[in-house]
Structure 1
Amino acid sequence: MKRYFKLLHETPDSISVPRGFIGRVLRFCKEQQIEYVLEDQRKKAELINFKGSIALREYQLPAQQAATKKDFGIIVAPPGSGKTVLSLAIIKDKQQPALILVHRKQLADQWTERIESFLGIPKKDIGRIGQGKNKPGKHITVAMIQSMEKALESTESTELINAFGTVIIDECHHVPAETYQRVIGKLNSYYMYGLTATPFRKYNDGKLIFIHLGEIIHEVKAPEMQNQTGTQIIIRDTDLFVPFNTQTDKFETLFKILIHDSARNQLILNDVVSQLNASRKAVIITERKEHITSLQQYLKQHYDTIALSGEDSDLSKKSKWAAINRGDFQVLITTGQYFGEGTDIQNIECLFLVYPFAFEGKLIQYIGRVQRSEVSPVIYDYRDHKISYLERLFQKRNVYYKKLDQSGLTNPVDERETVSGQKNENIEVSIEQLEFRFGSIAFKHIIADFNGKEVEFEIENLNVRPEFTVLKPYFIRFLKSTTVLVNIRATFQHNRLVFKSASSSDLDKINREVIESVKFRFLNKEIIKGTPVGEENLLDAGQVQGGSEQLIYTNEDDLLENILALKQYKHHRHLCYLSQKHERSILKLRFVLEPFSFVFLLSGNNQYHLVWETLDTEEATYIWHIDKSIYELERSTKRIDGLLGQIRTNGRQQYLETNPEQFSRIVHDYTNDHKGFIVWKDLLEEKLF
């Protein structure tokens, strides 16, 4: 069985598998000629009539139709494709009380706003689980995943387990995380759908997404979206002219003249320079190596320029792609082959199409590469209108531009366009308002000169991670201020934001050394000196961190490694030894508070052994011996969880006076550290083997 099923949960009379795995189970039974009866015991809740009107875009309709045919599965759609609105349309169609699971506060807030706008449900009637709230809504609820897990573990969770008929999991590529698996495994919903732009994760654990949620039922392709970000198209008319007859003249001659025409190249360079001087990153696409070289010769004298073509060696390509992915350039000159091969080049705001072509598919792909949230990308297209053949190529490109224009998705701009507004000011931002992301810190600020619009700024800090949100109080103490000083710059063209940047010397102080210092304080105060909350005593890494939505220490081994790295605690050597022997594949390491201690699982010849060892208090090592059975191990673990609470309340001596069975202890000798450890190790191994 193990060869086929890796996510079984077994009890004496049943076997449970995730819902997405049911298809494989049935196929396995058929292949092995195992008789079975499939009983669908799912039940729908009472029908709900959601109000509001949701008009989906044409490219979203197939995804909605797929959801009408499938009760669970995954919808893959790129950023900006309207996954939230699509999901609300699905919820409205299903007419079931709905739950939306998210992993970040910002996502929860966005969902709440969209629900209010599209379904007409007042904010006060939208259920929220997370940020100190635990109130499911009558029609729809938005829940933070960590908070939902705690809510499902409470004694009153039965009603919650059966409360939702439709479950939407936003950014479901996080499903391989154990918290997600535990939560969705408990929910008895009739419908369940996952949303993601990235269904596969590294280390091959992407398969877990499909095992829990089922197969991909629809995938929105980037071309289906067309252009959703208000792209500005600037058409430049060149003065290039040579007599050219497609019947008699060589195309190669024409294109050699084009790429070496000094006036045409100067027009291109003037446009590129104007954008680079406005601190925008740019990509120039041509199809000739000689053209790349001639443009590079000028630009590299003044700007950080990368030229990438098929003539680069493998080593050179690798080095250049690394620099591109780091953002270590101002302008990239390359061919369509490299710009379109799938590498995610971030923060490109300007694209220069300097070599004629006709294929609409190329144009769609290129435009998709430069679409970015609030910053409207600018695309320069060079129209060689005096040569009829090249004009025909442009007109084919222009067909697509017109499609975008008719959809109201472009902002036509001519060459006389001028900047209509700039902002450069220093502002104070509350540290509590900062959003920590992977490698950056973001915040929002209202710019009065820009019609009072709220603009999101982002400052690069490669040391920062989202989980550092819980460290904000410690950063405030370090900076000795509840605010940071930030310089913001923004440029507007025709009432559209086309450039933004921010910098802060205060935030630059949050370097690796400061973060490690702050993490140590957090570890000592919030975890090692933490206070038990609730009835459970055997805790995982998330629980000892207060059940925060963002975890500083992502798993038990990470937390243990950081604690043992300090080498200052009484039982440091003992814990290192126990950690090496711990059976991680069977039971996760568990922590106990007051005093801070660890519970390891060791495997002997005939028995399992649960070993309780404190971190820094002079307490004996406690060992419970258990029959070598997973079922008995689960029962004993629950029993020992209760015993630990009694021991904390009544003391160890009272427990010892009960003469517990299948139990032993080892008393530490602190007179000589080295000798004491060797004696302890020998006694432990005698009891285990």
Structure 2
Amino acid sequence: MSIQAASGQQSTASAEVEVTIPAGYTWFFIENATDQIDDLLYDELSWKDPDAQYKDAYKRGAWDGLHHLYKKDNHMAPIGLLDRAIEILEANGYTVSVTSEGDSSGDSISTEWTFSDELRNYQLQAVSNALENSGGMIALPTGAGKTVVAMNLINAIEQRTIVFVHTQELLYQWQERLEDTLGVAVGLIGDGQWNEGEVTVATMQTLNKRGLGNLNESYGIGIFDEAHVTSASEKFQQVGLDIDLEWRFGLSATPWRSVDGEEMEIEAAIGGEAVTVDAEQLIDEGYLAEPKFEFIEPTNARVPRSDESYQEVVKRCLELGPNRNQAVAEKANNLAGDGYTVLVTVNRIAQGHLLEYALDPTLDAQAVLDDLIEDDDEPGEQQMKARALEKMSQVGDHTAEFIQGPNTTKQRQEALSAFGDGDIDILISTVLKEGADIPSISAIVLAEGGKSKIEKIQRIGRALRPNDDHAVIADIEDRGEYLRDHYETRVENYKEYYGKYGPDNGFTPREQAVRNYLQENGVPLNACRVSENDLGTVTIELTDYLGDHDFQNFRSVMQRTSGITYDGSKNRCDLSWVRSLTQPSV
């Protein structure tokens, strides 16, 4: 996290800010707040709503489009933002003293570390940094052993612990790992159960429904698994701020230093970055398989029409697009024929059924149509689904199965076991997003489209466990409004996350130099695309909505930088200027 002094602030080097954390509270309070301090923290401890432009309050000018986590009336903010607040205050010339009242430690427990392997160097460093930091976010790529790190922290601290998860699969995975590794009595809250142990694993859904007031034990450690899931950010914060803990650890598959939006809601309950390990480093060291990116170019795939909404485009072109789905099925079939164990990921149930039909020659078209048609489908949608099925051809002779949300936990586990044992060649799923432990995957076809970075990285990580020297990651090169932009955003995300192992060996030196310049000048990289063409020209394209403040800053940076020719949403960089940002040999 990079903190800069707020523009226009006067020096306050002699002013001390007194911060207090009262006993039993999960908020910190500024005891001697001034209007200047309130305004500073109110502005800085906030995040931009990406959908603000569509909301009435913003359109009326009654809301600035920001979610402010500092409460001016009470001069307070959530405990997880304390380190961030201190950095902000110190960057603006204040000195800060913190008084923590009361004791937030939990009951003592006894653990026995029985893990069969030695911890890897980066895992040992992660444990050390997290302890030194007194908690915070632990960002390790999928497959790097976040659970092992968390269990080692429990073993080091030995206080009663509660682990927060958001799926039933994770509930039972944690139970098994804890019992095997720490030898503790594990309690479960979720899936119809409510019992507490030395370490308790609890689903967020059950805790939100019944309330933390029903907990009977005194907990000192809280572990928030899959803390990068912004769809659960409100639940994370609600639960995290309702329980007083001495130690708070978040486990994330995404580098926390790169977040700048709704993730602040999660950080409010957990704390900032304690340690981040990059995927590129772990691939270099052989702890993760190398991803081999391949891009499918469907022939005559549907493209958006000018009169279609985004939802209509997704349904017609992605979910029910016959040529696109056929290309996905053929790619999965070919990969299975080459000996890969293949996972095909989708977000929409109808697409999953269509792909299962194409990949499993034993399926009957009428039975699949019965699964496709839902009771509340309008006649027009029923016809669309029927036509989509009619245009699909069955390919290959592999075994395939589709697992989805409505399946029971037992049905999912049986399918995963069969897949792991080799009885299923191709698995299609809407549900294997976070936490699924499937070490046998060696190829993934990402069929869902979209541009969610976290979703894609999490899914790709399922295939990068080091069983082979590489894993195939197949995506679809979509065309047309919305879809092409989403495809290009996915490619850029892969380059950013996997570095030299991303598509085309990652960003070029010139692209990276310009990206660094933009980041240093406060331009959100998730809203613009930096690309170099075959002639070496670098362009900066605005690809996503920016709020008023961020857009004004983007335009200011474009206009005041002598090496950039400003042209609205797409701007050209002067080659000599780009060279000045890079190494002399570039």
Shorter-chain TM-score category? 0.3 to 0.5
The TM-score with structure 2 as length reference comes to 0.41
Q: Return the structure number with greater relative CO, CA threshold 8 A, min gap 6.
A: 2
TM-score (norm 1): 0.35
Higher gyration radius (CA): 1
